Amino acid sequence: MNDLTLAFDLTIHTAPKDRSRAIDRYARAVRLAPESDEGFVLEAMRRARFSIIGILRRHDVAGLIVEDLFRGSEFWLVDEGLESSLPDGVALATRLYTAEGFAMTAGVLVPLDIELIEDAIADTPQLLRNRREELIDDRRFAEAIYRVALASGLMEQVAYQDTMSGAG
């Protein structure tokens, strides 16, 4: 089931250049008030970006301080599961929603090393036409990362943690 998370991510957040994304079609269909909580969250989801992040350190309050390794920005990632399970220095591929000073993952994460990134690019040679700053925004890059991670068996090592298990 965890492998389907990668397919869902691509289905919701990416589309070929001449097509609209599922998240944008949904936003047009529901027409939420932008000032509502639901409208605010939907807009954050529409602005979600595929990112390669490195864990720098723990945040003083909760979560992690991470660096987007392609875009060169540092930010606060609020994710209790990652905070409790990952050491500093780890790199991940994920899709991030940003809102008012912090970010959240979209539920997708792929542990990374340079070899996996190189394999993904080698497996999709058309990515080589991009400059580094364009590569991260090319939908085919996320597809290639996910494909190589699945083929290598790497995703079998990923376990999603339910931090709300005691609530309810």
Read off the tokens for 5. 């998370």
Residue 39 CA neighbour count, 13 Å, CB half: 8
**Residue at token pair 């591929």:** 93
Smallest CA-to-CA distance from 160 within 5, 49, 37 is with: 5
Q: Where are the domains of the chain?
A: 2-157
Predicted TM-score (pTM) of this structure? 0.85
Fold classification of 2-157 is OB fold (Dihydrolipoamide Acetyltransferase, E2P) (2.40.50)
Locate the DSSP E strands across 33-166. Answer: 49-58, 64-68, 73-77, 91-99, 102-112
Local confidence pLDDT in tens for the 168 residues of the chain: 578 889 999 999 999 889 999 999 999 999 999 889 999 999 999 999 999 999 999 999 999 999 999 999 999 999 988 998 889 999 999 999 998 889 999 888 999 988 999 899 999 988 888 887 788 999 999 999 999 999 988 877 776 555 554 444
**How would you classify residue 16: left for phi > 0, otherwise alpha for psi between -120 and 50, otherwise beta?**
beta
Q: Using one digit for the tens of pLDDT, what is the confidence trace for 42-53?
A: 999 999 999 999
164 CB contacts (<8 Å, ≥6 apart)? none
The full length of the chain comes to 168
